[in-house]
Amino acid sequence: MKHRVNSINKVGLVNSDGHVIGLDLGATAVRAAALAPGLHEGRPSVSVHGLGAVPLPPGSVTCGAVTNPGAVTAAIRQLWATAKLKDTKVVLGIASQQVVVRDLTMPDMPAEQIRAALPFQARDVIALPLEQALIDFCPLGPAGPNGTGIPGLLIAMPRKPVITAVEAVEKAGLQVARVDLAAFAALRSTAGDPGAVEMVVDIGAQLSTVVIHRAGAPKVVRIIAQGSDAVTEGLADRGSMPVEEAEAAKRTIGVGDASTGDSSIARIVRDLVRPLMSEVRGSAQFYNSTNADAPIGRIALTGGGAAMPGLANSLAEQHGVPASVVTPMQHIRNRFFGQGGDAEGDENAATAVSIGLAMGAAA
């Protein structure tokens, strides 16, 4: 499946065996996905050739930033050994609350000229001094008629955390062929019916992302420095229980649903997820207020925190549209490539981000 968030220059991204590797550095684990482009019944498709995850010690990646590079490098080395990955070129996912994504229409001119003109466009939009920022333009379609220019997105992020992440990966003997926004990667691997306007919500341990897209073209991108770990910590605190018990209660009871019913734990969890839910609602309202002709039609949830019982139902009720947890493997042809091995383990190792990073270059 090909989404329009696909401005990646494929040259140099594909390893000599034809695989593209997506690498996601999350707060809880490093995860890699090896995909290969192919044809299925005459249409382009991608197949999976390797997946793996290695847990990270707490404090190694904090709100998307690599805060203990040594631990991250060691985990990546271990990941390559355990998942038996041979390739060295990777597409690295970047997630940070400081990423800025804005609508931008550029004059219809060659890519090189667009790149040269970007700093002037970015100056008014981002708070950072330009020499401390990385800026990119992601076109969302061809130039409009009568010189209306190329519609797209301006993406800006602080340079330093990206360099720290790249260095941690390179110290593990790998080469970063490209960095890509984790939020775009999550969109690529989870987006459903291309005719619908959909809100993709990735709920991680410390960071959550919201991407509202129309037929694969992102309209709103928000990165929120809140995740599911805060629910565990809050529940341990308010429910006076050990963290392990709070984590287990969060996973079995969650915000409460028809099967788990209501309880004091469900009430506390509901209270604790409220700030994140209101950020998500704010993004939806922002989009719907300016796109009354094409309101959000469904919500797709991904990330570890999305599995909380009752959460999808509660979002569906709040937003008045269907909401469900989606598998990042849904667009992969040989989803159960490890069958005979550990199919469920393979699926669990896959994150929407690692799969989507590789898809961006492989599709």
Spell out, one character per residue from 150 to 189, where the chain touches ligand ATP: x when CB under 6 A holds, - when not: ----------------------------------------
Kindly give, in sequence order, each residue whose CB lies less than 8 Å from that of residue 194, ignoring residues fewer than 6 positions away.
215, 216
Neighbours of 318 (CB within 10 A): 15
Interacting positions 26-45 with Mg ion (CB under 5 A): 26
Residue 168 phi/psi, 5-degree rounding, is: -65, -35
- Does residue 205 bind ligand ATP (CB under 6 A)? yes
User: At closest approach, how far in Å is the CB of 221 from ligand ATP?
Assistant: 15
User: At closest approach, how far in Å is the CB of 296 from ligand ATP?
Assistant: 22
**What three-state secondary structure class fits 48?**
strand
Neighbours of 173 (CB within 10 A): 11
Interacting positions 20-59 with ligand ATP (CB under 6 A): 26-29
Exposure of 69 in the CB half-sphere (CA atoms within 13 A): 12
What is the largest distance, in Å, between two alpha-carbon atoms of the chain? 65
22/204 with CB nearer ligand ATP: 204
> Given candidates 305, 310, 328, 360, which one binds ligand ATP under the rule CB under 6 A?
305
Query: The tokens of 329 are what?
Result: 């493997």
Spell out, one character per residue from 214 to 243, where the chain touches ligand ATP: x when CB under 6 A holds, - when not: -------------xxx--x-----------
Query: The tokens of 300 are what?
Result: 């797709």
Give yes or no for a contact between 277 and 224, defined as CB atoms under 8 angstroms apart: no
190/206 with CB nearer ligand ATP: 206
The whole-angstrom distance between residue 284's C-alpha and the CA centroid of its chain comes to 18
Interacting positions 193-212 with Mg ion (CB under 5 A): 204
DSSP 144: P
Q: Which does 152 bind (CB under 5 to 8 A by kind): ligand ATP, Mg ion, none?
A: none
Q: Is 289 exposed, middle or buried (0-12, 13-18, 19+ CB in 10 A)?
A: exposed
- Does residue 329 bind ligand ATP (CB under 6 A)? no
> Given candidates 22, 161, 218, 304, which one binds ligand ATP under the rule CB under 6 A?
304
31/319 with CB nearer Mg ion: 31
Q: Where on the chain is the footprint of ligand ATP (CB under 6 A)?
A: 26-29, 61, 64, 204-207, 227-229, 232, 247, 250-251, 303-305, 307-308
